[in-house]
Structures are given as C-alpha cells and as structure tokens.
Amino acid sequence: MTQMNMVQAINDALRFEMQRDDRIVVLGEDVGKVGGVFRVTAGLYDEFGDDRVIDTPLSEGGIIGAAIGMALYGLKPVPEIQFSDFIFPAYDQIVSELAKFRYRSGGEFPCPMVIRTPVGGGIRGGHYHSQSPEAQFIHVAGLKVVCPATPADAKGLLLSALRDPDPVMFFEPKRIYRAAKGEVPEGDYTVPIGKANVARQGEHVTLVTWGAMLYESLDAANKVQAEGVNVEIIDLRTLWPLDIDTVVASVKKTGRVVVVHEAPKTCGLGGEIVALINEKAFLYLEAPPKRVCGFDTPFPYTLENEYLPLSHRIVPALLETARY
Amino acid sequence: MTTATIEEGATGTARREPDDALAADVVRVLAPDGTLVDNDAGVGDDEAVALYRAMVRTRLIDERAVMLQRQGRIGFHIGSLGEEATVIGTVHAMRESDWMFPCYREFGGALYRGMPLQRYFDNLYGNANDPAKGRQMPDHWTYRQAKVGSVSSPIGTQITQGVGFAWAARMRKDPLVAMVYFGDGATSSNEFHNGLNFAGVFKTPNVFVCRNNGWAISVPTERQTASATFAVKGIAYGIPGVRCDGNDIFAVVKTAREAVLRASRGEGPTLIEALTYRMSGHSTSDDASRYRPEEQMSAWTTLDPIHRLRRYLEARVGWTEGQQAAFEAEVAGELKLVIETAEKVTLPALETMFDDVYATLPWHLQEQRAELLAGPRAKGH
Ligand SMILES: Cc1ncc(C[n+]2csc(CCOP(=O)(O)OP(=O)(O)O)c2C)c(N)n1
Ligand SMILES: [Mg+2]
C-alpha cells in the first residue's frame, strides 16, 4: 500500500498496464512531453517513448477517430480528452462509430478503448471547464461509463477498464485530483466494473452519488447524524451499467432515497436511478425520491458554489426525506 | 533587409523559429532594429504613436492581470504578451462597420474597438457589472456594442460562425467584413476546415487571422501540420494565404488592410498567418518552462513587437523616456481606478443564474430559482 492522490493512482495504473501490455497507446493534446495539463500522464513519455505516448494535433475528432482505427487494428488506445467539455467535436465518432462497432459488425469489430477525461466543477472553470456530461454517454448503447471517487478505485477501475472488451468512458473528477488521498495497493489491483461501493452504512436514508460529490455527501451525512438521521451512502463508481442490486437492496432497507450529482437535473442519471427504484422497489418507498443536482443552466463561473449540489444543499434534502 | 530562404518541400514544417519570421515570403515593413525596409511605413506618425500606445497599454493591462491572478484577486488570465502587434494591427485595419470574431487572447483588440476597460475588468472579476453577469471565466468577455463576438473556450467554433455572419451580411447587402481570430492549434480543429471551405465556396467577406505563436499549450506547431506554413492551407480551399511578420505592426496593418479591402470589394476571403510568439505561458495555469526551450524564448525577445516600434518612434518622432514614463503612469492610473471599482462591485445576484438560459423563464427554472433563493447559502456567500 502506498499513499497516493488520484493523479498518482491513475498514473500508476497507466504505467503498470503499459509495462504489461505493449498494445496500449496513450494519445491526446499535451499528454506527451509535458505529461498532461493535469500531469496525469507525467513520466510516461520518457518511459515509453513517443510511439506510445503521443502529442496529437488539436482535434478531438481526430484523436478519437484515429484511436478507433488503432483499436480495430488490435491496439489498445487510451485517448485523453483534455476536459470533458471539449469532447463534443468527437461526439460523432463516439456515438455513431465507437459505441456501435461491435453491434453493427455482428461482433466482428469489437472496439475496446478507454477514453480518459477530467469531469466536473470545483476549479473555477466556468462554462467550459466544469461540466458533467456523463448522461450524454450513458444514453448511447454500447458504452460503459465509470467515475471513481478514491485513488484506490481510480487505479482499480482503470486497470479493469483497460482489460475490458468494450469501450469505456473514464471520467476523472478533477476537483479531487489532488485533494482525494488514500492508500492504493501496489502492482496489479482491479476493482470490477459494475460494482458499487457502500461508502457509509446507515439505515434511515439511502444516498446515491459518485465522483467528487461523494465527499460532500459524506460531510452532509455527518451533519445530519447529529440530528439522528443515519445515512447510507452508495458510491456508484460505475455509472453504467450501474449496480442495481446494491441500490435496490439499500432502498428496500431504508425506504428513502436521495440522489446527488453535479450534472444538470433534467435527464441526468439521477432521473434514471429514481425511475429504476420506482420500477423495482416502489412498494418499499416511505418518501418521494429526491434529486440534489446542478441546476438546468449552463455552468456558471462566479456562482459555482451556489450551482453545485454541495453539502449545504444535501443536508436539507436528507432531513426532508428522512422526516417525510 | 535580412532575409532567409524558406525551406519548403515535402518535409517542410511550420515550425516557429525566429528566423522563420524573416523568410522572404513574409510581409515585412519594419525591420527588427526599428528601421523601415522600403522607406514607407504605410502609417502616418500620429497613427504610429496611437498604435504604439495601444500596444503598450495592452501589455501593461496583461502584466497587471497576471499580478492580480498571482495575488488571488482574480481567478485566471490568458493574455497576448508578445502578440500585441498582431492583435492591434489587425483590429486597426478594420473599418468602423466591420466585425471581430475573437479567440480568447484579443482583449486588446476589443478595448481598441471601444470596450470600456471597466467592462473588461468586471469580466476578470466576474462581478455584477460584467455584461455576462459573471457567468464566464475571466477573458471570456462580451461587448456587442464594439462589434465583437462573445468569447468562448472551445477551440475553432468562432471560425464557421464568423463565416456565417459575414455571409448573412452580404445577403442583406450590408457591406461589413468579419475578421476571425484563432491560433495555430486551431487550424487542426474541425471548424477551421469547415469555415475555410464554406468561405471559399461562398466567397464570404471574411479575413481569417491565424496567430501563429508557436505553441498550442505545450504542443509545437510541427505537431499541428506537416505543411511548410499555415498560410498554404488557404490554397486548398481556394483562398489566398499570406504570411506577415506578426511582430511588425506596419506589416500587420498593411496585410490586414489589403485583406479587408479585398473582402469588401466582393473578391472573397483571405487567410493571414501572422508569425508571432507567445512570450508567456499559455495562461496563468501553465508553466512553460516545462517544455519551452529557453533559447527560443530569448531569440524571440529580440523581436519584441513593442521594442521594435519604440525604436522606430524614437528615431522618427523623437519619442522620449519621459513620454514613455508619462504614458505608463497614465495607464497605471486608469488601471488603479478600474480595479478599485471592480473590487467594490458585488457578486452577481443569485437569481441572475437563471436569466438568459431562454428568453423567458420556463416553469422548471422558476422552480429551481425559488429553491435556490429559499435554500441555505454556500460558504463565502
Ligand atoms: C476543442 C478544444 N479542445 C481543447 C481545448 C483546450 N485548449 C485550450 S487552448 C488550447 C491550445 C490552443 O492553441 P492555439 O490554437 O495555437 O491558440 P493559442 O492559445 O496559442 O493562442 C487547448 C488545447 C479547447 N479549449 N477546446
Ligand atoms: Mg498557438
């Protein structure tokens, strides 16, 4: 075990797997010599050379399109999109091509790759360095979507993603890139895709979240504990296909649920989670399910902390749901 | 005149070396030592002084913004250090009726076209007086009155938009030209290719200004293209491409004026590649010492556009140390005032978060606004 932050844990996973599997190629803007604008790929260029750690021209469509070609050939590309806000020039390649290759070729052309990209607010990045577009990828059949909240999960999930037969969107919550620290197992360590983590045990309310909002949720749970409300927190880790069994089991136990995510409320993953709970555990519910989310506006700069579903907005939602 | 031959050919690259700006095909009027190449500046003395003052003002504002960021008083800054001649010279060449579609480094151009300095600082502070109500990051200003588009972060998007704008104006017989700004990195974006292609096909009244400053964050120009120059890319779209010394204000004005004139006569768009250099990190978030060769930076320092014009003015109109100091003091005074004012203005009101998503507020935003106003405040609010 070594103490690491998220950046170090992701870097460690990339290095470990690149040593083990020479098909892995990292490509993107500024990922090579300088090691990424968040330094996530630091040192990889020196260790693996510019055939495997490639600074590309400034074109997300180019990066993902070329990565698809590499994957079709048999390599294992790991494209980085500098901010998930800038993934949209590549959306056509991801939605129309990457997600459908296996299906449309009857399994002849699987297209495994891991698209790494920082996500979420908290760095005063305004409209275009803060968004959380995960639902826009979950809605596309054929993509797996992952978002770790701890360094150990970042490493474990990334190694699983790199060995997965399907394309994986790997969202890295940039707000906690350096702030989240923890013990990370050395060497080979995987966390299965599709398994949530119960980050806090409780019996009164189930709170479902992921990424950086895990820490806000833990903070809120500690605050309402003082008022006698005991919250169970599920850190989804894999956003799709999500761990429905863990969510439903918890809701059957508590009868109450709050979903917390940074993305705008409307058509966010929270809506799908609530619908699934209604379908699978309706008769167990003691209170209407609640969502604490980003508002349905573009992501604002100055009012960022009023926009985000931080602890101060989670606390009243938990109390209201618990006391309903 | 110092010349060097351009090494073109299959392996030619658009690599930014200082002597590249001295290549024979590059339009140059003012030599690096401040003397005229052909005895004609193309710009009168008063005009030259005005351009000089605008460039110096831009740099002083830049330096102050970096300082404010370092002090934690603003969150971010992205500037134009070293690129002042390219920005100011192209804007100077525009007519009153023309429009500017900026990238994110052209605040100096917007100020030159009349955006009040106070508005610019209100954006840097993201306060209630910011025309965009503190919604966007610093240096993502908007000021329609000056005939400038609103700044966005995604690379290249303004290129096709500038094309459509100019095209629409022509449909309405409105004789404007739209000048579109972007970096060398942006020439790899989808929208560069879409924009130039549409502009070529529909012969739109556009001037495309590629600020070739050598870098796209840490990525050097030879990773953007295998072409010998960026200007050459115009040819494939049926658009003339010209290179000018982007650190030579007179060359920039001359090149841009010809392009504006051409577009306004209905002869179609021009791609200008201005050879300049980013004499700072990419932004206040970037540390260029991790990747920028020291020699490259020091070589470019000798080609500084402001020093060059100053030498010219010293010889030509006897610009003095005293005049320089007085002007710098004038800008410092102006800065002091706008910064003090910006720091006194409150944050945008909470409810402004929901305005302008649509022209009128739908039910769900009304609900969310009520929820926010009734709920507890975030820390520091
Ligand atoms: C679509 C998109 N991808 C990535 C980024 C991140 N980014 C911001 S500026 C930049 C480099 C731009 O370089 P260039 O076009 O040369 O302009 P310069 O900053 O040098 O003026 C990058 C990669 C972005 N803003 N938009
Ligand atoms: Mg550049």
Each residue's pLDDT tens digit, A4-43: 999 999 999 999 999 999 999 999 999 999 999 999 999 9
Residue B12 has pLDDT above 50, yes or no: no
% of chain A surpassing 90 pLDDT? 100
What is the residue whose two structure tokens read 């590649």? B273
* Total CB pairs under 8 A between chain A and B: 132
Quote helix, strand, coil % in chain B, to nearest 5.
45, 10, 45
Q: In the structure encoding, which two tokens stand for residue B67, read together? A: 């300082």
A58 C-beta closer than 6 A to ligand 1: yes
Ligand in closest contact with the CA of B78: 1
**Which backbone phi and psi does A300 adopt, to 5 degrees?**
-85, 155
**Does the annotation count B278 as an active-site position?**
yes
**What's the pTM value of the predicted model, to 2 decimals?**
0.96
A127 included as an active-site residue: no
Q: Spelled out in words, what is the top-level CATH class assigned to the domain A197-323? A: alpha beta
Percentage of chain B lying above the pLDDT 70 cut = 94
Chain B contacts of A307, Cβ < 8 Å? Answer: 353
Q: Where exactly does CATH 3.40.50.970 map onto chain A?
A: 2-184
pLDDT of residue B21: 63
CATH 3.40.50.150 fits A2-184, yes or no: no
Cβ atoms of A275 and A263 closer than 8 Å: no
Q: Is the CB of B215 under 6 A from ligand 1?
A: yes
Distance CA B193, CA B138 (A): 28
Structural contact between residues A13 and A155, judged by C-beta atoms closer than 8 angstroms = yes
Q: Is the predicted pLDDT of residue B277 greater than 80, yes or no?
A: yes
Q: What is the pLDDT of residue B5?
A: 31
Cα A27 to averaged position of ligand 2 atoms, centre (Å): 20
Q: pLDDT, tens digit, for every residue of A161-171?
A: 999 999 999 99
Residue B11 has pLDDT above 60, yes or no: no
Q: Which amino acid is at A266?
A: T
Q: Tell me if B229 sits within 8 A of B236, measured CB to CB.
A: no
Q: Is pLDDT of B2 > 90?
A: no
Average pLDDT, chain B: 94
> pLDDT tens for residues B51-77?
999 999 999 999 999 999 999 999 999
Dump pLDDT digits (tens) for A266-320. 999 999 999 999 999 999 999 999 999 999 999 999 999 999 999 999 999 999 9
H-helix or E-strand spanning residue A281? helix A269-281
Q: How confident is residue B4, by pLDDT bands cut at 50, 70 and 90?
A: very low
Eight-class DSSP state of B348: P
Measure B76 CA to nearest chain A CA, in Å. Answer: 9
Question: Which residue in chain A is spatially nearest to B286 when comparing CA positions?
Answer: A37
Residue B19 pLDDT class (50, 70, 90 cuts): low
- The vertex-B237 CA angle with B232 and B239, nearest 5°, equals 70
Cα A240 from Cα A146, distance rounded (Å): 7
- Polymer length of chain A: 324
What is the number of H-type helices and E-type strands within chain A? 12, 14
Eight-state DSSP code of residue A96 = I
Q: To the nearest whole number, what is the mean pLDDT of chain A?
A: 98
pLDDT digits (tens, 9 = 90+) for A39-82: 999 999 999 999 999 999 999 999 999 999 999 999 999 999 99
Using DSSP, state whether A154 is helix, strand or coil: helix
Contact between B276 and B82 under an 8 Å Cβ cutoff? The reply is yes
**Which residue ranges form the domains of chain B, and what is each CATH number?**
18-347 (3.40.50.970), 349-381 (no CATH)
The residue with tokens 């500038």 is B162
- Which part of chain A is CATH 3.40.50.920? 197-323
Distances (CA, A) of B40 to A199, A258, B35: 74, 73, 10
Contacts of A164 (CB under 8 A, 6+ apart): A112, A114, A144, A193
Q: Give the residue-averaged pLDDT of B204-213.
A: 98
pLDDT for the residue B23: 72
What pLDDT, in 10s, does the model give residues A106-132? Answer: 999 999 999 999 999 999 999 999 999
ipTM above 0.85, yes or no: yes
Residue that the structure tokens 């300082």 belong to: B67
B354 lines ligand 1 (CB under 6 A): no
Ligand 1 atom, smallest distance to A58 CA: 23
Contact B238, B206 (CB under 8 A): no
* A127 vs B58: CA distance, rounded Å: 26
Question: Nearest CA to CA, how far is A30 from chain B (Å)?
Answer: 6
Residues B224-235, mean pLDDT to the nearest whole number: 95
Q: What angle do CA A314, A316, A318 make, to 5 degrees?
A: 65
